[in-house]
Chain A
């Protein structure tokens, strides 16, 4: 019916609209369900922005791994996949307790709700503790992002010999710090002086044509396509690649750092829920906050599920 009729309002108008309504129902919604649904949609849209934001970092990661597989394969040796796996499990567990907490809220199990929320906070805390342990090792061996990284040619910190990252991972400090010639720091000169000059335009007419079209550009790492052996050592990288190792750590710290911040925010939110749950504020009629924070907590988990294999399990 394209016609217009003016019908009396289905519900009282104005700010005192709450009388007789659930106190949690905002004045511009008609029903709790409408409010709940729109909150959910809003939260999901927000999660989408989170995914896109991390997407940028994943893009940087992909480009550099795609162009320097050997660098990533070498540098990731510094990460401890044992701790990584443990952290994954910790986070999954906290996801479970969170999902359970939502269920508890929906079923009016008030005590259980508080308990599960507390567990979830613990899970997050555990995750951060383990992360900080990992960060500490990197810090001690000057494997931080950018200029703080011993592999960065602008590195200004105290001159330590390069770490044998593989040994470092196996917790073998001596081997790690033992500066035998394989793991000696390339001097600034070694980085600055190119191996040998390649004429970018060498090659016959076809080469010129192909190159002009979509083909590989001269100077592209020939390692890029070739199959990689199991354990790379520093000596198996050329100087340019050595000078680029810090790129991996930059990506690693940006990704895990941004993720860590999200974990902290999540913990904060859950703590807030925890205290509200102690005050018995949630019920089967009103559990949206638990549900929404839960969604947020799960997306943090989801992102880690991608980060773990991509950062810790390169080969």
Chain B
């Protein structure tokens, strides 16, 4: 009846109490849930029955002589109703911990996706370094999520997987799952994280390895899907530029991107530099080389792996679009860089 090590467990069907369970641990969780559920039902019905029966049978009413008061203690009974629950709870405890260990110990060969929670979005970094706001995982393959938050505590919850873990700043929390059935399932943030907490909802797409690969390739090679301009904006938002650089001129930690491109900028050492493609590229690769006057050299450098040159070029297009000093033609920025040629 109860198979503990069912790594390739089949999905459990949706019931009145539980949604469809589509992960390898779902069957264990559901089994224990229903075990406790029936224990609960049994004891509740027992108590309810006794309460009702006693309340009716022994209720004070005219013409009913109260029977001789019952006993006021009975050690045998006390022992019974202490021992039986003890046995039950120890069993539940044991199964609970066993199941929890299965949840905790990921297979060593698990593929790894980094999950970053920030007010109020999820960001997923795939093994190839591509960061995206969509979560896709291949069916039947163990996936390990490494959870981390940029600001406050969030909680990464996927009811269909019966899984949940807080996403804590300055900590790596880990979670692994082996999805057993294709489909799209909701992902919630379960730890209150501010005004838009209830909007921090995403979804996970479980799909066959082939289509997962296809999607990842497509997503990481934006040329085929986005114009440089769109891509630039995408990277500006997903690669962390947005945190320190505004595009509306407001001064945050770093200088704003508004009207920078093509302008002449004064550096800390007093020198003046024309903000052209070379300057932007250098400022991303080695930010401390030239530091704009009045700013701290706090920006981390981006390597070729974390931000390929073509992505930087896209960002440059985005800067151009935000600068009144750039009088050139935006045309190229608005065309697909590598249109998929039809066969």
Q: How far is the CA of A209 from the CA of B108 in the complex (A)?
A: 8
Q: Is the CB–CB distance between B298 and A201 below 8 Å? A: no
Query: What is the interface residue range for chain A against chain B?
Result: 10 to 19
Q: Is the CB–CB distance between B105 and A212 below 8 Å? A: yes
Contact partners of B297 in chain A: CB under 8 A: 187, 189
Interface segment among A35-43, A115-123, A213-221, A293-301: the answer is: A213-221
Contact count A vs B, C-beta below 8 Å:
36
Q: Is the CB–CB distance between A212 and B104 below 8 Å? A: yes
CB < 8 Å: which of A193, A204, A208 contacts B106?
Answer: A208
Contact partners of B288 in chain A: CB under 8 A: 189
Identity of the chain B residue whose Cβ is nearest the Cβ of A192 in the assembled complex: B298
Shortest distance from the beta carbon of A95 to any chain B beta carbon, whole Å: 42
- B112: CB under 8 A from chain A? yes
Contact partners of A205 in chain B: CB under 8 A: 107-108
Q: How far is the CA of A205 from the CA of B172 in the complex (A)?
A: 18
Instruction: Return the CB mask of B90-132 against A: 1 if under 8 Å, else 0.
Output: 0000000000010011111000100000000000000000000
Contact partners of A187 in chain B: CB under 8 A: 297
CB < 8 Å: which of A192, A200, A213 contacts B172?
Answer: A200
Contact partners of B146 in chain A: CB under 8 A: 200-201
Contact partners of B296 in chain A: CB under 8 A: 188-189
Q: Considering the complex, which residues of chain A in the window 95-148 have a beta carbon less than 8 Å from any beta carbon of chain B?
A: none
Shortest distance from the beta carbon of B225 to any chain A beta carbon, whole Å: 30
Contact partners of B298 in chain A: CB under 8 A: 188-189, 192
Q: Is the CB–CB distance between A193 and B300 below 8 Å? A: yes
Contact partners of A219 in chain B: CB under 8 A: 172
Instruction: Return the CB mask of B293-334 against A: 1 if under 8 Å, else 0.
Output: 000111010000000000000000000000000000000000
Q: How far is the CA of A213 from the CA of B300 in the complex (A)?
A: 34
Shortest distance from the beta carbon of B342 to any chain A beta carbon, whole Å: 42
Instruction: Return the CB mask of B21-35 against A: 1 if under 8 Å, else 0.
Output: 000000000000000
Identity of the chain A residue whose Cβ is nearest the Cβ of B301 in the assembled complex: A193
CB < 8 Å: which of B104, B107, B144, B300 contacts A201?
Answer: B144
Q: How far is the CA of A189 from the CA of B301 in the complex (A)?
A: 12
Q: Is the CB–CB distance between B174 and A212 below 8 Å? A: yes
Given contacts A189-B298, A192-B298, contact A201 B105 (CB under 8 A): no
Give 25 CB contacts A-B under 8 Å. Answer: A187-B297, A189-B296, A189-B297, A192-B298, A192-B300, A200-B146, A200-B172, A200-B174, A201-B112, A201-B174, A205-B108, A208-B105, A208-B106, A209-B105, A209-B108, A212-B101, A212-B104, A212-B105, A212-B106, A212-B174, A213-B104, A213-B105, A217-B172, A218-B172, A219-B172
Residues of A near any B CB (own CB < 8 A):
187-189, 192-193, 200-201, 204-205, 208-209, 212-213, 217-219
